[in-house]
Amino acid sequence: MRTAICSGSFDPITLGHLDIIRRAAACFDRVCVCVSPNAEKKNQMFTPEQKLQLVRAAVEDLPNVEAELWPGLLADFAAAHNASAIVRGVRNVTDFDVEYQMARINSGIHPGLETMLLPASAEYQHFSSSMAREMIRYHQPLEKYLPMSIIPLVRDMTEKKEG
């Protein structure tokens, strides 16, 4: 069974993230989504547990996709799940440069671990979790940015936080 890893901080998961996960799920027998708490990212809107809940709701219709939290190195998560590849989306040259460096680091930690870089689909190329958080903060319609299955959860989580 060929397993791939899709990872991110998913604060929150966007349609762009979900597009990469769906495309990976079409290429691999099993996809493990690694929700990584990223202490370096500022202004996080959701707790790690909430992010995991949102990711699980977003991938619920994908039978070969699972998700879990992982506080450690991505390469170690891949090894723990017997993955042959990490699949990452890239929106632009800057993303490519960062992901290329990470690919070299991950294969240095676990030789044989491949990284596949998928170009973002044109309709999601401008998406980011930062942009989605702004739309949430200012109570904008979310259907263009987030999976429909998570919008009620996002609204509930943010209303509880505000109230």
| Catalytic residue numbers, as ranges | 17, 41, 91, 129
C-beta separation of 88 from 116 below 8 A: yes
DSSP assignments along 79-98, one per residue: HHTT-SEEEEEE-SHHHHHH
H or E stretch including 27?
helix 15-27
C-beta separation of 95 from 127 below 8 A: no
C-beta separation of 35 from 10 below 8 A: yes
- Give the β-pairing of 3-8 and 30-35: parallel
Residue 16 tokens read as 């762009």
CB atoms within 10 A of CB 94: 9
Cα–Cα distance, 129 to 14 (Å, whole number): 7
